[in-house]
């Protein structure tokens, strides 16, 4: 804990002067204060250049881009996987960029359910009530597709406070159900920002003869991981949040080497052994890597920006990004405590238990988030009362954190939020 934070703006300016990561100016920030990089990261010049490069290749090479592109489009998913492997602590062939997160959850959970069946393990899947909804939709669908009743086979660990999950409660749930074959958990919770102990949870799952899978959507690019070292069996994530790879960017997945050679639940020709893919056999031979979990042709235009972003990530390093992210969230928590007594910090205060955003809770959270947007501060709202504020380490500085809290103070003082409609539905 940095005890030296000060309340004044000058202090924030000084911190920015003395310790910048130096990549901020490579990002376009569409609004005054873009504090929503955990939901949709902004465009960078690096991402833009690589996207333009692929357009140039398409114009000049046409179909030859698959083999003559730099890198060749045919291997784009594997190439990006290698670039990303160190971010999640995996070996090069354990990561591939493919599909969407939801599709990856389908194919990975489906694959491991098939293994559970074959190995006579239980076929229940352990999840928790704070999960992002799509994860449950996909897992329930996979259970249904196997003729398993999702209400019976999806075991949902409850939260004690509606914000966070205790690893002890995961352990208790595993003890209580001896037929859990897969445990699937987030690394960081999308609403509260709690960071789970991935290593401990993986050990718990394995001790109960269950596979351990993770959704890293809210930690990839913000928190370093050691998936292979921790023996995590599989993981999925998206790239449009902290990694700033653009709306609907192609997602990523990790499969531990032990399972390479397995036929994926959603097999498709793009996951076929590459050397023989174009022999066009009607039987499937899986690639001997995580690449097997690709399905159809990689959407190159939606994958290209990530390649640009990875240049920035490699330059700064994930450890430095994490360090800066912790400083910024720490400072934000300090300012909320000091200046916004009517708000509650819903995110764990121990930085080791926190991802890259802070949940600022207020009963008028929705209208406050609208008032902030009106004042050029982009945040988002998650029901029932959470304003998520994300000081992305890539492009947010201390002064912007200060300014965000200052504008929030004014909005509360002037009761400015009262001029906004109460919540309807829609994207926030
Ligand atoms: C953002 C997010 C997703 C998104 O899934 P898509 O298939 O990319 O729409 C999935 N899971 C979690 C936990 C997320 O935060």
Ligand 1 atom index nearest CA of 218 = 15
Q: Is the CB of 382 under 6 A from ligand 1?
A: no
Q: What's phi and psi for 377, nearest 5 deg?
A: -110, 110
Give 62-73 pLDDT, tens digit per residue.
Answer: 999 999 999 999
pLDDT digits (tens, 9 = 90+) for 309-340: 999 999 999 999 999 999 999 999 999 999 99
Query: Checking DSSP bridges between strand 358-361 and strand 344-345, what pairing results, if any?
Result: antiparallel
Cα separation, 427 vs 325, in Å, equals: 26
For ligand 1, atom 4, name the residue with the nearest CA: 101
Please report the atom of ligand 1 found closest to the CA of residue 248.
Answer: 8
pLDDT of 2 over the 60 cut? no
Question: pLDDT tens digits, residue range 132-179?
Answer: 999 999 999 999 999 999 999 999 999 999 999 999 999 999 999 989
| Cβ pair 393, 221 in contact under 8 A | no
Domain with CATH 3.90.1150.10 in the chain: 9-30+317-419
132 lines ligand 1 (CB under 6 A): yes
Q: What letter does residue 191 receive in the DSSP assignment? A: T
Which CATH number is associated with domain 50-313? 3.40.640.10
Using pLDDT thresholds of 50, 70 and 90, give the confidence band for residue 34: very high
Q: Are 221 and 243 in contact (CB under 8 A)?
A: yes
Specify whether the CB–CB gap between 166 and 174 falls below 8 A: no
pLDDT at 182: 98
For strands 386-389 and 358-361, give the pairing. Answer: antiparallel
Residue recorded with tokens 């398993």: 148
Nearest atom, ligand 1, residue 131 CA: 13
pLDDT score of 115 = 98
Work out the burial of residue 160: count CB atoms within 10 Å of its CB; fewer than 13 is exposed, 13-18 middle, 19 or more buried: exposed
The closest alpha carbon to 96, from 270, 217, 347, belongs to: 270
CA–CA separation, 257 and 262 (whole Å): 10
Q: From the CA of 323, how far away is ligand 1's center (Å)?
A: 25
Order of strands across the sheet that contains 344-345: 344-345, 358-361, 386-389, 380-382
Share of the chain above pLDDT 90, in %: 93
Question: Would you say the CB of residue 259 lies under 6 angstroms from ligand 1?
Answer: no
Per-residue model confidence as pLDDT tens digits over 44-103: 999 999 999 999 999 999 999 999 999 999 999 999 999 999 999 999 999 999 999 999
Q: What is the mean pLDDT of residues 187-195?
A: 98
Rounded Cα distance between 316 and 197, Å, is 25
Ligand 1, atom nearest to 238 Cα: 8
**Which of ligand 1's atoms lies nearest the C-alpha of 39?**
1
Backbone dihedral angles phi then psi of residue 253, each to the nearest 5 degrees: -150, 160
Enter the tokens of residue 378: 């982009």
Residue-level pLDDT at 196: 98
Give the chain's largest Cα–Cα span: 69
Q: Cβ distance 105 to 215 under 8 Å?
A: yes
At 401-414, the pLDDT tens digits run 999 999 999 999 99
Q: Is 159 in the pocket of ligand 1 (CB under 6 A)?
A: no
Percent of all residues in the chain with a pLDDT value above 70, rounded to a whole number: 98
Chain-wide mean pLDDT for the chain?
Answer: 96
Closest C-alpha to ligand 1, atom 15: 217
pLDDT computed for residue 423 by the predictor: 83
Going by C-alpha positions, the residue among 146, 137, 134, 226 that lies closest to residue 181 is 146
Checking if the pLDDT of 223 tops 90, the result is: yes
Report residue 213 as tokens.
């899978």
Please provide the size of the chain in residues: 428
Top mutation candidate among 38, 40, 106, 134 for ligand 1, by most atoms within 8 Å of CB? 134
CATH number belonging to domain 9-30+317-419: 3.90.1150.10
Q: What is the pLDDT of residues 260-278, one digit of tens each?
A: 999 999 999 999 999 998 8
Q: Which of 39, 190, 194, 295 best tests ligand 1's pocket when mutated (most atoms within 8 Å of CB)?
A: 190
CB distance 190 to ligand 1 below 6 Å: yes
Using CA atoms, how far apart are residues 205 and 55, in angstroms rounded to an integer?
A: 45
Other Cβ atoms less than 10 A from the Cβ of 68: the count is: 14
What's the pLDDT score for residue 165? 98
In contact, 357 and 190? CB cutoff 8 Å: no
Residue 425, Cβ density class (10 Å: 0-12 exposed, 13-18 middle, ≥19 buried): exposed
Torsion of CA 96, 97, 103, 105, to 10 degrees: 50
Query: What are the catalytic residues?
Result: 132, 215, 240-241, 388
**Any idea which of 30-34, 200-204, 290-294, 386-390 has the lowest mean pLDDT?**
30-34
Could you tell me if the CB of 217 is within 6 A of ligand 1? Answer: yes
Q: Is the CB of 238 under 6 A from ligand 1?
A: yes
Distance between CA atoms of residues 374 and 76, nearest Å = 40
> What's the pTM?
0.96
Phi, psi dihedrals of residue 373, rounded to the nearest 5°: -60, -40
Measured CA to CA, the distance from residue 288 to residue 290 in angstroms comes to 7
> In this structure, are strands 154-157 and 124-128 parallel, antiparallel, or unpaired?
parallel
pLDDT confidence of residue 3? 59
Residue 339 burial (10 A CB sphere; 0-12, 13-18, 19+): middle
- Whole-number Å distance between alpha carbons of 212 and 167: 14
Predicted confidence at residue 198, as pLDDT, reads 98
Q: List the one residue out of 245, 173, 175, 165 whose CA is nearest residue 198.
A: 165
Per-residue pLDDT at 186: 98
| Residue 305 confidence (pLDDT) | 98
Which of 226, 221, 240, 142 has its CA nearest to residue 184?
142
CB 45 within 8 A of CB 244: no
Output the CA 217–ligand 1 centroid distance in Å.
6
Distance from the CA of 191 to the center of ligand 1, in angstroms? 12
pLDDT of 1 > 60? The answer is no
Q: Which residues contact 202 (CB under 8 A, 6 or more apart)?
A: 212, 230, 231, 232
Residue nearest to atom 6 of ligand 1 (CA): 101
* Per-residue model confidence (pLDDT) at position 424: 75
Q: Which of 104, 136, 141, 217 most suits a substitution to test ligand 1, by most atoms within 8 Å of the C-beta?
A: 217
């Amino acid at each position: 804990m940095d005890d030296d934070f000060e309340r004044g703006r000058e202090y924030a300016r000084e911190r920015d002067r003395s310790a910048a990561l130096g990549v901020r100016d490579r990002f376009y920030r569409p609004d005054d204060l873009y504090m929503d990089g955990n939901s949709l990261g902004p465009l960078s010049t690096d991402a833009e250049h690589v996207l333009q490069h692929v357009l140039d290749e398409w114009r000049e090479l046409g179909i030859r881009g698959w083999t003559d592109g730099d890198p060749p489009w045919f291997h784009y998913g594997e190439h990006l996987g290698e670039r990303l492997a160190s971010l999640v602590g995996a070996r090069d062939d354990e990561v591939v960029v493919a599909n969407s997160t939801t599709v990856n959850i389908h194919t990975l959970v489906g694959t491991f359910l098939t293994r559970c069946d074959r190995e006579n393990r239980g076929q229940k899947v352990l999840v928790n009530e704070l999960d992002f909804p799509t994860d449950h939709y996909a897992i329930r669908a996979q259970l249904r597709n196997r003729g398993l009743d999702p209400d019976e086979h999806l075991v949902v660990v409850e939260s004690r406070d509606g914000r966070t999950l205790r690893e002890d409660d995961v352990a208790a749930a595993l003890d209580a159900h001896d037929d859990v074959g897969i445990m699937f958990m987030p690394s960081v919770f999308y609403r509260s920002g709690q960071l789970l102990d991935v290593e401990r949870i993986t050990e718990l799952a394995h001790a109960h003869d269950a596979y351990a899978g993770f959704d890293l959507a809210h930690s990839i690019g913000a928190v370093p991981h050691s998936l292979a070292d921790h023996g995590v069996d599989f993981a999925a994530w998206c790239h449009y949040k902290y990694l700033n790879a653009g709306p609907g960017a192609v997602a990523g997945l990790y499969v531990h080497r032990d399972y390479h050679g397995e036929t994926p639940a959603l097999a498709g020709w793009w996951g076929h052994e590459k050397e023989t893919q174009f022999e066009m056999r009607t039987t499937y031979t899986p690639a001997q890597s995580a690449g097997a979990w690709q399905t159809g042709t990689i959407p190159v235009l939606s994958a290209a920006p990530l390649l640009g972003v990875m240049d920035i990530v490699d330059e700064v390093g994930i450890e430095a990004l994490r360090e800066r992210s912790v400083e910024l969230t720490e400072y934000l928590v300090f300012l909320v405590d000091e200046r916004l007594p009517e708000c509650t910090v819903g995110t764990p205060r121990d930085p080791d238990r926190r991802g890259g955003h802070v949940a600022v809770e207020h009963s008028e959270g929705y209208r406050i988030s609208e008032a902030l947007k009106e004042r050029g501060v982009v945040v988002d709202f998650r029901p029932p009362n959470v304003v998520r504020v994300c000081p992305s380490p890539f492009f947010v500085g201390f002064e912007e954190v200060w300014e965000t809290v200052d504008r929030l103070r004014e909005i509360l003082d002037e009761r400015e939020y009262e001029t906004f409609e109460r919540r309807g539905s829609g994207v926030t």
